[in-house]
Structure 1
Amino acid sequence: MRVRLALVVLLALVTAACGSRPGPGTLQVSAAPATSATSHTVLVATTRERDDRPGSMFNGERAAALSFAEASVSVPPDHAPGKIEWPDTPPGDPETDFTLRASAHLDDAQFRAALDRELAARPKGQREVLVFIHGYNTRFPEALYRMVQLKHDSGLPHVAVLFTWASGGEVTDYLYDTNSATIARDGLERTLRTIAASRAEKINILAHSMGNWVLTETLRQIRISGTPLPRAKVGVVSMAAPDLDVDVFKAQLRRTGRPEKPFVILVSRDDRALKASSLLAGGKQRVGAYDHEEELAELGAVVVDLTEVESQDMANHGKFAQLAQAAPELQKLLGSRSLTQDEARGTDAVTVVGDTVGNTAKAAITLPLRIITAPITVLSGG
């Protein structure tokens, strides 16, 4: 009981330090001119309950069926990479704040049509999708605007698809969120299969925190279903600060066999949120704060160690958002060449990325991190 109380107090302090959070009514559409702002379209698939209150769209309750939506959000011209400029009062000023420009609920057919429309607007060779799966204690506006921040800062032309599950959005909802994440597996599988059946050439996935439980469980059930996703369409699968028991992760990989493409796992040993989660889990380490990175590499992952990167949040749990600006360079590094263990272990990724694809990443990443790789040979799936 003491451990659980300590977890709640710790996370409450972290949340309080971040200031007020967006609640119902936050997502009001702004009609103000936004000539200097940059707008991004996000397609949404969600297991959240639809919320018909003005400016809300979805809440933290669980829906009986998967729902869809589309939103356009503008980013202010003086946006700071890695951050979300929340308006003090909705709907906000597009010159200084993230601002909702338009939104609509969609049915299944409309979602498929919107996805194909977004893909068709891109030239062949660039028809890729980025699916973002948020973590614990995340409200719908936070998930939506984080998706926009990642899309904007990365500069990647990918179609943005937010998969948002029914997080309660409160510090004390850890168990509720865990169960909601488990319930969301079928919804995520349906979403991924819908994207795979579209014009998409590649499906890239980024999951954060507890979203990795949804992701890994969904990939497991897809793998054992006997009907895998088309191999040629699976792109980079990234796991940021995974709030996932290390032993569970190992068991999942043993059941599914080695991944056809290595997972990219972003870890940080100073992640306070994952330390609290570990206490709640009886002291078992979480994948995102695991101190044996080389073991993860041997399990079939490319491990990016962010421990030395200074975080913008007190919990050191959101460092992944700060790397979005370097995403194209890291993607080229991880996708265009095969790093050897001797080359990558213990090296400064700024040097590696800079030597490989130029100097952009040096400007985006100012502190050292390591990239560790290994041949995917340990787990055979037997």
Structure 2
Amino acid sequence: MRRHWLALVLLLSGCATRPDMAALAPVSAAPGTPITVHVATSRARRSADANDFTNGRSPRLNLAAYTVSVPPAHEAGRIEWPSRVPDPTRSFVTLDSRVLDLAGFEAGVSARRCAANAGNTAIFVHGYNTNFPEALFRLVQMTADTEPGGVPILFSWPSDALPLAYVADRDAAIFSRDHLVELLSRVTAMCPGRPVMLVAHSMGGWLTMEALRQLRLMGRNEVIAALRVILASPDIDMDVFRSQTRVIGPLDPPLTVLVSRDDRALSASSRIAGARNRLGNLSVDDEAVQQAARESGMAIVDISAVSASNSLNHDRYVGFARDYARMIDSGAAEPGGVRRAGAFVFNAIGNTVSSPFRLVGRALSPE
């Protein structure tokens, strides 16, 4: 067990130096593209009147809004991190940071979500070993690369952002379940009938499934019906996932699960958990996986062909979002993703006839 922990620590500590809250200090002006993100978090504030979020656990949702400038020469799929002296022409910089109460948060989100020309509303739930600036800038980057006119909302839970804090992060994630349920309930109630995309990465996928399970047990079926759920590299035990899906039931459109056979972070997580398989490491070539996808009414998509930013291969969802957006823009793919249950392989290389998602086995039903 000890060597598995050591392997995970070595893998994760090999990542680039991460930013701290100082990276979010506002600058006066920038020449880039401004992206405004509303934030709902179970993290504690260091002081009540400042957006200085810690890994402390808040009993209630803390709310905020940030406007971040994406530099003119931004490379899709990358976050150009600011230095101690930020250069707005070359890096992400914060233009504005506001502390919000509930009324201010709901007014701000509703005004954007309910506008006649509103883009998609997307809630992002980050994963293990992630601090607040990382989560915020990741959502800004994905919004800039896919839909700058969208309505991005960050749900940040109090990860310790330390490789050795895996168990502490699991506790922090489950502590945040009620907070996420509240956020989903409030956002879906704004302009009923308009969907909300819910994207959750890694351990955030486990938190998201727990929140959906709780909503179903509460009878909040209208909240679940409004959601379009994507789990990216989910760090969820397979038996736990089956238990969750039995309560939640099939989603329409199908729950989409992005998997990768060589995700080294999930392989380490599996070893730590006693060699129990993780959902994000499934093989779509396995007939049992194909059958389970059909019977459970979900779409499992292998994104192993997409490039990752490092040897962990745990952030391929970022490249997937970038590549899929490019394919939509070029006419090689249609918006909406996978609309039927089954197991698929994503192909971002070469020409596609009608869809970049190649079906493996048999789909549950035709589109």
Report if aligned partners of 1:305, 1:371 keep a CA contact under 8 Å in 2: no
Give 1:142's aligned residue: 134
C-alpha distance in 1 between matches for 2:346 and 2:55? 42
Superposed displacement of residue 198, structure 1: 1.1
Alignment of 1:310-349 (within 5 A): 310-328=307-325, 333=334, 335=336, 338=339, 348=347
Deviation sequence 1:228-261 (CA, Å, 0-9, x none): 2356633x21100000001111111112222233
Residue 273 of structure 2: aligned partner: 281
Instruction: Give 1:162 deviation, angstroms.
Output: 0.3
Residue deviations 1:188-213, cap 9 Å, x none?
11001110111361100100000011
Greater displacement, 44-53 / 74-83 = 44-53
* Match of residue 108 from structure 1: 102
Question: Is contact 1:222-1:229 (8 Å) kept?
Answer: no
Deviation at 1:26, TM superposition (A): 2.5
User: In 2 relative to 1, CA 7–104 (structure 1 residues): closer, same or farther, beyond 3 Å?
Assistant: farther
How far the C-alpha of 1:345 sits from its partner, in A, is 5.1
Q: Output the aligned Cα RMSD.
A: 2.7
* 1:294 to 2:295 alignment: no
Matched, 1:62 2:57: yes
Partner in structure 1 of residue 353 of structure 2: 355
CA displacement at 1:65 relative to structure 2: 1.1
Aligned counterparts of 2:25 and 2:312: Cα–Cα separation in 1: 29
Deviation, structure 1 residue 324: 2.0
The amino acid that maps onto 1:270 is D
Alignment match, 2:166: 174
Query: Does the C-alpha gap of structure 1 residues 305 and 138 become closer, same or farther in structure 2, counting only changes over 3 Å?
Result: same
Aligned counterpart, 2:19 = 22
| 2:79 alignment partner in structure 1 | 84
- Alpha-carbon distance in structure 2 between the residues aligned to 1:158 and 1:371: 29
> 2:68 aligned to 73, 81, 93, which one?
73
SS across alignment from 1:315: coil
Amino acid of the structure 1 residue aligned with 2:18: R
Whether contact under 8 Å (1:136, 1:169) holds in the other structure is: yes
SS for the counterpart of 1:160 is strand
Length-normalised TM-score, structure 1: 0.84
Give the CA deviation at 1:118: 1.9
| Aligned counterpart in structure 2 of residue 375 of structure 1, from 355, 364, 367 | 364
Question: 1:204-223, CA deviations, whole angstroms, 9 ceiling, x for partnerless residues?
Answer: 01000000111000001101
2:207 maps to a residue whose letter is V
8 A Cα contact 2:301 2:345, kept in partner: no
- Is the aligned partner of 1:307 residue 2:304? yes
Structure 2 counterpart of 1:256, from 248, 251, 256: 248
The percentage of counterpart residues that share the same residue type is 34
- Change over 3 Å in CA distance of 1:204–1:6 after alignment to 2: same
Corresponding position of 1:50: 45
For the residue of structure 2 that corresponds to 1:175, the secondary structure is helix
Secondary structure in 2 matching 1:118:
helix
Instruction: Verify the 8 A CA contact 2:303 2:320 in the aligned structure 1.
Output: no
The CA deviation at 1:262 is 0.8
Q: Report Cα offsets for 1:75-123 as digits up to 9, x if no partner.
A: 1111111111111215x11110111111011111111011112224x42
Residue among 6, 16, 35 paired with 1:9: 6
Say if 1:116 and 1:284 are closer, same or farther in 2 by CA, change over 3 A: same
Q: Is the 8 A contact 1:267 1:304 kept in 2?
A: yes
1:97 correspondence with 2:91: yes
Measured in 1, the distance between the counterparts of 2:338 and 2:279 equals 25
SS at match of 1:25: helix
Please say if residues 25 and 55 of structure 1, whose CA atoms lie closer than 8 Å, have aligned partners that are also in contact. Answer: no
Does residue 226 in structure 1 map to residue 234 in structure 2?
no
Name the count of aligned residue pairs. 354
Q: Structure 1 unaligned segments of length 5 or more: list them.
A: 362-368, 377-382
Matches within 5 A, 1:171-210: 171-199=163-191, 201-210=194-203
Partner SS state of residue 242, structure 2: helix
